């Protein structure tokens, strides 16, 4: 009887800990304005909280990826300046970690967002970094996804990735070039190098 009571107390403590972590995560993500979040924002906040509690749970990972905005317009609606989850860094950086077990899903999501993106500060900077990381670590899949885009979309995505002030410290971009070379994709390498050269000629 005593053992059963101790077990019940232990279970209750664990449940309370998970509840507190989830509540803190959600409260931390709610805008300082105190305004009620939209259903899309609420869904993403809750999905992130679940993922933080159970990071290795495949269902939690899939729920998060399904809740993440999958068009650039929706991305800006959530993370753009003065929007509900402005900046969005903590939400976007998660994608790089999820790519390990969800390689193609994350790749499709990042390519779908970046093909229409234009560099600005904050959220788009984080998106650029996440996409460059993915392209450097999963170059073959990235190239396959790129080939599925139209020519203007490919051009915009490459321009978006190249749009940084200091390429000397942009190691991810060089890694994409090096890996594409090893895969024998000379055309893509040339486009990356040309985009980098064109960006270096522009004012910072």
Instruction: Evaluate if residue 2 carries a pLDDT over 70.
Output: no
25-74, pLDDT tens digit by residue? 444 445 545 678 999 999 999 999 999 999 999 999 999 999 999 999 99
Instruction: Evaluate if residue 17 carries a pLDDT over 80.
Output: no
Instruction: Give the torsion sign (CA, 4, 8, 59, 92).
Output: negative
Look at residue 13 in the predicted model and tell me its pLDDT. Answer: 44
Instruction: Evaluate if residue 146 carries a pLDDT over 90.
Output: yes
Instruction: Evaluate if residue 190 carries a pLDDT over 60.
Output: yes
pLDDT band at 204 (very low <50, low <70, confident <90, very high): low
Nearest to residue 79, comparing CAs of 9, 126, 115, 147?
126
Distance, in Å, from the CA atom of 197 to the CA atom of 204, rounded to the nearest integer, reads: 13
Q: For the chain, how far is it from start to end, CA to CA, in angstroms? A: 72
This prediction has a pTM of: 0.83
Instruction: Evaluate if residue 80 carries a pLDDT over 80.
Output: yes
Look at residue 36 in the predicted model and tell me its pLDDT. Answer: 87
Cβ count near 67 (within 10 Å): 20
Taking residues 84-102, report their average pLDDT.
95
């Amino acid at each position: 009887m005593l053992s059963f009571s101790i077990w019940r107390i232990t279970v209750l403590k664990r449940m309370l800990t998970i509840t507190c972590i989830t509540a803190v995560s959600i409260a931390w993500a709610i805008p300082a304005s105190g305004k009620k979040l939209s259903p899309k924002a609420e869904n993403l906040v809750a999905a992130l909280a679940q993922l933080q509690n159970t990071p290795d749970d495949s269902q939690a990972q899939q729920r998060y990826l399904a809740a993440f905005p999958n068009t650039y317009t929706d991305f800006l609606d959530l993370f753009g300046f003065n929007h509900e989850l402005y900046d969005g860094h903590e939400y976007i950086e998660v994608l790089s970690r999820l790519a390990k077990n969800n390689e193609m899903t994350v790749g499709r999501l990042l390519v779908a967002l970046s093909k229409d993106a234009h560099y600005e500060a904050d959220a788009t900077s984080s998106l650029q970094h996440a996409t460059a990381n993915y392209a450097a670590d999963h170059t073959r899949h990235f190239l396959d996804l790129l080939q599925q885009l139209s020519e203007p979309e490919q051009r915009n995505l490459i321009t978006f990735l190249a749009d940084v002030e200091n390429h000397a410290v942009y190691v991810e971009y060089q890694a994409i070039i090096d890996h594409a070379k090893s895969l024998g994709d000379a055309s893509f390498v040339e486009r990356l190098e040309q985009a980098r050269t064109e960006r270096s000629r522009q004012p910072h």
